[in-house]
Amino acid sequence: MMKIHKDKVRTMRRKAQSWLAILIYHRAIGNNHLKVFIQRLKSLCEPVLKSEILQETIKSCIQKTLDEKEATDVKKRIMSRLTPNKFERRMLSLPQIPSETTPVGVKPNLFTLGRLVGVWTVLTDQPSEEFMVRVYPAIDRLYREWYETTGCCGLSDEDCHNHSKESAQFWSGFCRALIRATPQENLSRFIQSGIQTLSNMHQPTGTDWPINELLSQACNLIVQDTAQQIDSALKANPGARDMINIPEFEALVLREESKLGWTNNTDKEALKILRESLSPELAEAVNGKDEIVKSSVEAVGRRGLFNNLLAALDGQLKSKFIESIIHFLKYIVRVESSWEFDTSNLIEKNARSVQKWLFRR
């Protein structure tokens, strides 16, 4: 199996945190251009979505048989991921899809609960009528609860977004009902056959690989949703903008963007911003000593951009820079020394002895 080294995973995680911190900063200062952040996120994901890596990963997941305990564990793990809270957070927090008016005379393509159950029985290789008998009471109860709490007869996208908690409760119960009524062996075969199908698919190489298009769409959705949540948070906390929009954090953002290869910024610009933000006393102390400011940026930057964002929000980032600069100043102290000798009547004989000792081999 082709493995990704732990250090690489850790590095990617830190880059993703930096990406988020930079996005928060740009939203705080009013930058509404998101295309660049879509490309940056895509560049972070592409290294682990290469064709050869995915193929090897998929193949390693395939097992010929599952024992009873493994099958039971698979079912429990799936059920644990279908709670209402997780459903609402992962599925219904996506930006609302605009509803479109169906033209007159065109019959809408409705996807009913009955069709969903029918598709599930086909995928899991179960007798449709027998499965419906087992699962119908649970679905009927869930629908009654949905109707009584929301007053909605259907489950359109608009209805679900307008009643997100009730919608999450319904869809969580619906999916759990399907899983619960499906025998373990059928569920295991369905999962294995799906993985096997992915493994057997012929994947073209290069830019024509379908996952590239899916990755672009996914990054677009993630960035749009993340920006929307950031804007909501900043609106609810107006003071946060001022806490983030400070020279110290701006310098760290410029430095991080350059380190990650996202901009052509140089350290000079970041150092200039920091020098101009210093108090008159500190500015005088570090005058002509750019290495002190540079060392301070490197020392504070080791904490990671996201941690420094949190420090800025707590009002502690500026003080951390000041402490770092003072720390480095202590190691650069000018010491002026002079040699003083007592006057003496030096005779020629003694002078030759001293010269001999000084230039000895």
CA dihedral 29, 32, 38, 41 (to 10 degrees): 10
Q: For 134-182, what is each residue's pLDDT tens digit?
A: 999 999 999 999 999 999 888 887 888 888 889 999 999 999 999 999 9
Output the DSSP codes for 80-122: HT--HHHHHHHTTTSPPPPP-PPPTTPPP----HHHHHHHHHH
How much is the pLDDT for 338?
46
Please state whether the predicted TM-score (pTM) of the whole model is above 0.75: no
Domain locations along the chain = 1-63+206-239, 67-95+111-203, 246-329
**Sequence-distant (≥ 6) Cβ neighbours of residue 139 within 8 angstroms:** 113, 117, 174, 177
Q: For 233-260, what is each residue's pLDDT tens digit?
A: 999 998 999 999 999 999 999 999 999 9
How much is the pLDDT for 101?
47
Q: Give me the tens of pLDDT residue by residue for the chain, a chain 361 residues long.
A: 445 556 777 888 899 999 999 999 999 999 888 999 999 999 888 877 766 666 666 566 555 555 566 667 778 888 888 888 888 776 655 555 444 444 545 445 566 888 899 999 998 999 988 999 999 999 999 999 999 999 988 888 788 888 888 999 999 999 999 999 998 888 888 887 776 666 665 455 544 456 677 788 888 989 998 999 999 999 999 899 999 999 999 999 999 999 999 988 777 888 889 888 888 888 888 887 778 888 898 999 999 999 999 999 999 999 999 999 888 888 765 434 444 445 555 555 555 665 565 555 4
How much is the pLDDT for 313?
94
Angle (CA) 14 20 21, round 5°: 90
How much is the pLDDT for 299?
92
Q: Ramachandran region of residue 304, left (φ > 0), alpha (ψ -120 to 50) or beta?
A: left
